[in-house]
Structure 1
C-alpha cells in the first residue's frame, strides 16, 4: 500500500496521476491509461469539494489481481452520477469513471469527509495481447 498527501492545488492532479502511475507499473498500457483518467477525475472532484486549506490523500492498494485507488478528502459531499445537459461543461467525470473502472464507490472514513475509490482487475500486457488475437 502506498499513500501520499497532496495540497489543494491544480498542480495536484498531475502529481497524483504520476504518483499512481509509479505504483502500477505492471499493468497493461491501455489499462494504466484508464487508471490515470480515473485518478484525474477523482482528484479533480476532491479539489472542487475539499475545503480551502485542507489536503487530500491518494492511496494505492495493489495485490496480484486488483488495484484499488482511494481518494480521501475532507468534504462531506457525496459524489454521484448526474445527467448534465449537452451545454453543461461539467458533470461527466464520474460517467468516465463508471465506464472505465471495474467498480467504484464511496465509503466513510475516520474523521471528516469520505473516501472515493475505484478498482481495476489487473491485466498484464500479455493478457491484452492475447485478448486481441482471440476471434
Structure 2
C-alpha cells in the first residue's frame, strides 16, 4: 500500500504507511496536526476514526505546547496493521506525561483522561534525546478494512472476535523504536 499525504504542506512519509510533520509549538499548529491526521485517515479510507484521532492529536500536541519549552514537535500517524492506527507527538523535552484527576471545577487537566477514553491504548517511548507520546486506535470489527470483514466470497463470515480484554488506564510503554527527533 502506497501512501500519499495529499493535503499536507511538507509532510514526510514514515514507512509502512505513515506520515509525519514537524510543527512549531504554537497553538496554531494544532489545526495543522488535525488536518494531517484527517488527510491520512481519508487516504486509508478509515474515516470512522477521524473524530477520535483528531481529538487525540489535539490533546497530545496541546500538552506539548503547554507543558514543555520545546520550539517544535513532530506529529506522526502510522497504520500499524489493517485495523490499527498510531498517532504520536514527539518532542525533545524530558518531562513525561502524567494523567491526573482534576477537581470538578478545574478548567484544565483532562487531556490525558480523554486520550485514555478514546484510544485502545496509549503510552510513551523514552529515548536518550527525545520522547514520543502516542495513542492507538482500532477499527471496529465488521467494517470493511478491519479483521472482521468477509473472507473470500461464499458469503461465510469469520468467527466473531473474542471479547476485548479490560483496558488498563494510564500510559503503557510501547514497541515504537522509529527515531523521530525533534528540537527543543
TM bucket normalised to smaller: 0.7 to 0.9
Is the 1:101–1:120 contact (alpha carbons within 8 Å) kept by the matching residues of 2?
yes
TM-score normalized with structure 1 length: 0.83
1:100 is the counterpart of 2:118:
yes
Question: Whose helix proportion is higher, 1 or 2?
Answer: 1
Is the 2:68–2:95 contact (alpha carbons within 8 Å) kept by the matching residues of 1?
no
Change (3 A) 1:84 1:33: same
1:39 is the counterpart of 2:57:
yes
Q: Name the count of aligned residue pairs.
A: 124
| Partner Cα separation in structure 2 for residue 64 and residue 9 of structure 1 | 33
Give the match for residue 4 of structure 1.
21
Q: Which blocks of at least 5 consecutive residues in structure 1 are unaligned?
A: 128-135
Is the 1:28–1:123 contact (alpha carbons within 8 Å) kept by the matching residues of 2?
no
Q: Which has the higher contact order (CA 8 A, sep 6+)?
A: 1
Question: Whose strand proportion is higher, 1 or 2?
Answer: 1
Q: Which blocks of at least 5 consecutive residues in structure 2 are unaligned?
A: 1-17, 145-184
Q: Secondary structure at the residue paired with 1:86?
A: coil
Equivalent residue runs for 1:43-62 within 5 Å: 43-52=61-70, 54-62=71-79
Answer with 1 or 2: which has the greater Rg.
2
